[in-house]
Amino acid sequence: MYSNKKQVDTLFVNAKIVNVFTEEIIEQNVEVKNGYVIGFSDDADIYDTAKKIDLNGMYMVPGLIDSHVHIESSMTTPDNFAKAVLACGTTTCIADPHEIANVAGLEGIEYMIDSAKNTPMNILFALPSFVPATHMETSGASLDATQLKKMINHPKIVALAEMMNYPGVIFKDPDVMAKIKLAKDAGKPIDGHAPNVTGKDLMAYTGAGILSDHECTNTSEAIEKLRLGMHIMIREGTCAQNLDSLFPAINERTYNRMMWCTDDKHPEDIFIQGHIDHIVRKAIKKGLDPIRAIKMGSINAADYFNIHDAGAIAPGRRADFIVTENLKEFKIKQVFVKGIPVDKGNAPDRNDKTKMSYPEVMNIKTTGVDFSISANGDNNTQIRVIEVIPDQVVTKEKIVIPKQENGFLVSDIGQDILKIAVVERYSGKARTGKGFVKGINLKKGAIASSVAHDSHNIIVVGTNDKDMIRAFEKVVDMKGGFSVAEDGKVIESLDLPVAGLMSDKSLKEVNKSMKKILKAVHSLGSDLKDPFMTMGFLTLPVIPLLKITDHGIVDVDKFEIVDLIVKDK
């Protein structure tokens, strides 16, 4: 029999809808068809629907958006990342595949897009702008404007990712300017990365058309950038948490140009804290109006990236919702993705069950790699040591007289001066940079990793060469990952075969393995929360002061390779 009732797939009734356009709560029914909101009504009886979901007066909140994230930092592939964060209410993210791009170039970016496309999550991408990060390291790829042009118009690419080479912008480096023009011509926003850039330099940077920044660490920095027209992404991740210091910058005049991001967030933090929902809760607890906290996690990001089908509960937008009983507490009761419920902790699987092929980049032979360092016959030799600052990615330089044995410089466990090496993994030549580090605090054994920002060569820290070699060999054998060695044996490891950065296992499985390997490192004496994370940033030659790459010791302030042995002091 013919029905004149309105046809919808799902009708959500008795909902308190958080309207992020007008900042009000509207009590209506929500109509969903083919995964999208098609309208609202007050009368539930006018519908012919396969499913009616009664929210019993609970709040319906737009799905949250992470405005800047490196999925690789979760150590899982995009499809497995999606399963974890969907349960936290993050239904859209703008991922910067910068890490895998440094390893595998365009092939790596394409892999990330392919891995994401069959997930229910709305994973969009910003095109990496700075591969490799510097000329003082060996990366697996180099992406200039000509290379990026091949992908800038891809429908999943919504921006040019963080422009880390701010000196190149300020001084109008031709390749940098070509990338900026490429994004402008494609109508894509350009994300920034400009820590502590101020004054005339900042004016030159923003004047080039760079519209956002996620590196602010204090209120005055954020306000200066806002005054010049930038959008501020406030970061709360594993490596950096900036909400507390930036909270005073959020006010009536600024909040519409601010949004949340995680940047880098490790598995355990996702399980314990949550994702963008954690930032929303924290901001509300600090006194921010709940609807404004939600806006900063939804429509603000959607508007910035010109995303017109997410970020709000409105006709033509994805039916991505969070259901919560109380906006102030913001505890997630249920998540819906395109109108389909997500079981908390058990988000939907990929639609395509076939196992994807992925880039494996480990072109290296372990034979011939040597971590010994000659003392050059001088008992009074002084060396530069990288000094770790706990919970920070910046380091110091320390000048010491090293311990010597049989004409070689060796680790000095008593002084916590440990040998560190970085082995290039792309060309087959295994170029090796060698040095010393203070702050890892191993008392025995060695650890190795293929997660070493930004070029992700293999980094090794240890108390002796034998264990360093064994830990290094295990990482190569696994085609990437973490390893812990003691007395010439590997005592724990975690394989990350996807470009040496990610596992193809679930986030839950990776987290379980990560706990085991961290326990093994702590058994060697390190008191750092995550020595692998600390070690992974010791190779980043764009963050002061002293770093190490396969080319050697880098003085970031001088922006040059310097000798391990100090000759002028």
pLDDT per residue as tens digits for the range 26-69: 999 999 999 999 999 987 666 666 789 999 999 999 999 999 99
Contact 113, 127 (CB under 8 A): no
Which residue range is the domain that position 206 belongs to? 63-312
pLDDT at 7: 84
Same domain, 244 and 381: no
Q: Among residues of the chain, what percentage have pLDDT more than 90?
A: 86
Same domain, 303 and 407: no
Q: Is residue 490 in a domain?
A: yes
Q: How many domains does the chain have?
A: 2
Residue 345 region, left (φ>0) first, then alpha (ψ -120 to 50), else beta? left
Mean pLDDT of 259-268: 95
Q: Is residue 19 in a domain?
A: no
Model pTM score: 0.93
Q: Is residue 233 in a domain?
A: yes
Non-local (6+) Cβ contacts of 281 within 8 A are 274, 329, 330
Same domain, 483 and 404: yes
- Pick from 264, 285, 312: which residue ends a domain? 312
Same domain, 83 and 230: yes
- Pick from 272, 290, 312: which residue ends a domain? 312
Same domain, 162 and 278: yes
Structure tokens at 223: 């306000």
Same domain, 289 and 387: no
Same domain, 271 and 129: yes
pLDDT at 214 exceeding the cut of 90: yes
Q: Is residue 335 in a domain?
A: no
Specify the higher pLDDT residue, 205 or 46.
205
Mean pLDDT, rounded, of the chain: 94
Same domain, 251 and 117: yes
Contact 456, 103 (CB under 8 A): yes
- Pick from 295, 312, 329: which residue ends a domain? 312
pLDDT at 4 exceeding the cut of 60: no
Task: Quick: pLDDT tens for 365-420.
Answer: 899 999 999 998 778 889 999 999 987 788 999 999 999 999 999 999 999 999 99
pLDDT at 350: 45
Task: Quick: pLDDT tens for 64-100.
Answer: 999 999 999 999 999 999 999 999 999 999 999 999 9
Same domain, 557 and 447: yes
Q: Is residue 4 in a domain?
A: no
Same domain, 296 and 381: no
Residue 345's pLDDT band, with cuts at 50, 70 and 90, is very low
Same domain, 412 and 549: yes
pLDDT at 477 exceeding the cut of 90: yes
Same domain, 299 and 402: no
Mean pLDDT of 465-475: 98
Specify the higher pLDDT residue, 240 or 90.
90
> What is the rounded CA–CA span in Å between residue 170 and residue 167?
5
